[in-house]
Structure 1
Amino acid sequence: MQTRITQAPFGQLPDGATITAYTLTNANGLVAKILDFGGIITELHAPDRDGKFADVVLGFDTLAPYQETGPYFGALIGRYGNRIARGRFTLDGKEFVLPANNGNNHLHGGTAGFDKVKWDAVVEGDTLRLAYRSLDGEQGYPGNLDVVVTYTLTGDNELVVRFRAVTDKPTPVNLTQHSYFNLAGQGDILDHVLSIDADAFVAIDAESIPLAALSPVTGTPFDFRTPRPIGERIGQPDKQLRHGLGYDHNFALNKPQGKALTRAAHVCEKVSGRVLELFTEEPGVQFYSGNFLDGSLQGKGRNYPQRSGFCLEPQHFPDSPNRPEFPNTILRQGEVYQTESRFRFSVDHQGS
């Protein structure tokens, strides 16, 4: 096997259940530590151009902060990643009401989404398999939803995340992974150089709810089709940047027909040389520049001020259950929800 998986206790829930941390280590020394609580990636150690490893994800040392309402560090998100307007949607003629946990709107599955539950974990060779049954009515969603997520760390330094779900009633499903990355291992992410393969993005209102149609990136601070530093245009007087307090937008990826696995984004931190590439089958990626971090959180010997991490969340578009013009997010009986994303780590030696 290319990857070794070990496990150790990581704390207890109020009901006495023990949470376990699973550490995946590949033959190159890349390490991913993942909890069976929320499927949370607590650590991810990657080398720089000199072979020095650093933890490149934001997170906490202990379980308790992950149980609190917070920034979703490293977590699996469901049933619905991103926002649903007013916490309401109509499906097959019936209205469903969800918790409004983000102002007037529903965010990331509600007050107790998939990031706040214990998953059933099994090690299968070089893969960590997590399973959870979301019961009919949980957080207002219809149907029993059976979800399986697998994490595999490959010899090519890819962390592969695969989702699978089935339901016994029609229900919205939009699952994603919500790690915050900092390829320098410290400081802010404004000098990270980003490219996103997207000609358009989902413009939002002041509550981060989509406007009527996709907006072209041409001539805007959202044009990352050629590599640009994240901080280069983040302070420009742009209405969309004001609405998100920076970047907090879904980019509509340039993809062929079907669910082909294609490269969505590329990020390079020039000083260390660390590179992250995201490959996904999803139609969109939410790019978030850590705007709401404020220095009040700390973990692993680090403080987390504004823009100390960025997220690349592969997913469908926000508020799709209320937007028939967006790609479908309704899963029905007899259908299988399946999607794969890969986070590939490498090194750029040009600065050496």
Structure 2
Amino acid sequence: MSAPSRTLVLRSDRLVLEVVTTGAAVRRLVLDDDGPVDLVLGHRDPATYDDDGGYLGATVGRFTNRLGGGRLVVDGTEHRVPPNDGANALHGGPVGWDRLAWEVLEEAPDRVVLGLTSPDGDQGLPGEVTARVTYEVAGDEVRLHHHATTSATTYLGMTNHAYFSLDGGPDVLEHRLEVGASAFTPVGADLLPTGEVLPVDGTPFDLRRARLLRDVLALDDEQLVRGGGLDHNLVLDGSGMRRAARLVGASGRWVEVHTDRPAVQVYTGAHFDGALTGLDGRPLLRHAGVALETQGYPDAPNHPGFPDALVRPGEALEARTTWRVGRD
């Protein structure tokens, strides 16, 4: 088990960001909106992160999202990540980076850098990996930078798994979501991508114009049944740093997610069953928050048509995401 977490607090003139060192996780994002308002889900007891934080706000890796059978091949050699999602591996398997103690490398009032060394063979994957995550707050923005290098060719992916909930209510059904994605990757019954990349036209995944989550989740669609709602990879339009998503609560509070990553996983929290306690002391129930995980494609090592997620010695995984928040 990881060492007990240390809590780090970053501030701008409008925001407070609280990070715990276990999982390099975001526990709180507080907006000054005529008083402090929490915008992400967090555990009431910070010690929960030392046990099993359930990915709330965590930095996940070595490979994000699902990996079919936990299997991948690097330079002709098969490697296996231990399963933790049926027969598949999710977010690095049972002991992913969300479960580990990260080291504080730099600390300032508005910025912190956390680091982790993942030894060769960790999660069954080759290469010693040096990972870094930087959090910075400035005005109405939280800036995230994920960086990783490796001593041997390996597959890498990093993201933050924050769940946004902008109204302080029990669910996000009255939130409106817009995602700049013209395509998505459909999933099978095991939530693994089928390998197809399909247009969103005429599907629940056409979020190019803002839609009420309650209405989207009420649609009769086999993909929504499989995911218990939205639990899908949307392929973002464009390249470079651009707006990926905008989520607006009934309160008028909003968050925009900007990223240079190719895709975003939209997940409406079907698994919340009351076992976890939120910041306000209430149990977290179904659809308590929505995750907007900027990422590469799920199960990419097993689909040659998906963007390559290999990182080689001398290269680096670089990923930037910005959360911009406010109120209409």
TM-score, normalization: structure 2?
A: 0.96
Question: Does residue 114 of structure 2 align to residue 135 of structure 1?
Answer: no
Alignment map for 1:138-157 (pairs within 5 Å): 138-155=122-139, 157=140
Structure 1 residue 24 corresponds to structure 2 residue 10: yes
Q: Give the secondary-structure state (helix, strand or coil) at the position aligned to 2:5.
A: strand
SS at the partner of 2:10?
strand
Offset, 1:212: 2.6
Q: How far, CA to CA, are the matches of 2:179 and 2:188 in structure 1?
A: 22
> For 1:226, what is the secondary structure of its paired residue?
coil
Moved over 4 A (4+): none
Instruction: Name the residue aligned to 2:324.
Output: 344
1:113 lines up with 2:93 in the alignment: no
Task: Provide the rounded CA distance (Å) in 1 between the counterparts of 2:266 and 2:61.
Answer: 18
Unaligned runs of 5+ in 2: none
Could you tell me which amino acid in structure 2 is paired with residue 286 of structure 1? Q
Q: Which residue of 2 aligns with 1:185?
A: 168
Q: Which amino acid aligns with 2:68?
A: A
- 1:261: how far off? 0.5
Report whether the alignment pairs 1:297 with 2:281.
no
- Residue of structure 2 in register with 1:284 after alignment: 263
Deviations 1:3-45 (A, max 9, x none): xxxxxxxxxx67xx442100111122x1110011111111111
Residue 192 of structure 2 is matched in structure 1 by 209
Distance in 1 of aligned mates of 2:194 and 2:61: 23
d(CA) in 1 for partners of 2:181 and 2:212?
16
Question: Do structure 1's residue 37 and structure 2's residue 22 form an aligned pair?
Answer: yes
2:306 aligned residue: 326
C-alpha separation in 2, matches of 1:302 and 1:25: 26
Kept after mapping to 1: 8 A contact 2:5/2:50? no
CA distance in 2, matches of 1:26, 1:69: 30
The Cα of 1:69 is off from its aligned counterpart by: 4.1
Cα 1:18–1:107, aligned 2, differ >3 Å: closer, same or farther? closer
CA apart distance, 1:237: 1.8
The one-letter amino acid of 1:79's match is R
Shift of 1:304: 0.5
Tell me if the contact between 1:57 and 1:185 (Cα under 8 Å) persists in the aligned partners.
no
Matched to 1:149, the amino acid is V
Separation in structure 1 between the aligned mates of residue 142 and residue 102 of structure 2, nearest angstrom: 19
108-117 or 57-66: bigger deviation? 57-66
Structure 2 letter corresponding to 1:267: L
Task: Kindly report which structure 2 residues correspond to 1:196-345, keeping only aligned pairs within 5 A, or say none.
Answer: 196-256=179-239, 260-270=240-250, 272-300=251-279, 301-345=281-325
Residue 10 (structure 1) aligns with:
none
Q: CA deviation at 1:95?
A: 0.3
In 2, the alpha carbon distance for the partners of 1:347 and 1:338 equals 30
Aligned counterparts of 2:50 and 2:286: Cα–Cα separation in 1: 21
Between the aligned partners of 2:183 and 2:87, the Cα distance in structure 1 is: 26
Aligned residues: 326
Rounded to whole Å, the distance in 2 between the matches of 1:32 and 1:70 is 18
> What TM-score, normalized to structure 1?
0.90
Q: Deviations over 1:230-280 (max 9, x none)?
A: 111212221100110100001000013xxx10000001113x211100000
**Once the two structures are superposed, what CA deviation does each residue of 1:299-323 show, in whole Å capped at 9, x if it has no partner?**
3212211001110000001000111
Residue matched to 1:9: none
In the TM superposition, what are the counterparts of 1:152-163 in structure 2 within 5 Å? 152-155=136-139, 157-163=140-146
Q: Deviations over 1:29-86 (max 9, x none)?
A: x1110011111111111144xx232112111132442234453111000001100001
Please, which moves more after superposition, 64-73 or 303-312?
A: 64-73
1:31, 1:44 within 8 Å by CA — same for their partners in 2?
yes
Q: Which residue identity lines up with residue 59 of structure 2 in the other structure?
A: L
Partners of 1:236 and 1:347 lie apart in 2 by 29
- The alpha-carbon deviation at position 90 of structure 1 amounts to 1.0
Which amino acid is 1:137 matched to?
G
* Residues 269-293 of structure 1: CA deviation (Å, up to 9, x unaligned): 13x2111000000000000001111
Q: Which amino acid letter does the alignment assign opposite residue 25 of structure 1? A: R
SS in 1 for 2:164: coil
CA distance in 2, matches of 1:233, 1:25: 35
Provide the C-alpha distance between the structure 2 equivalents of 1:42 and 1:308, rounded to a whole number of angstroms: 15
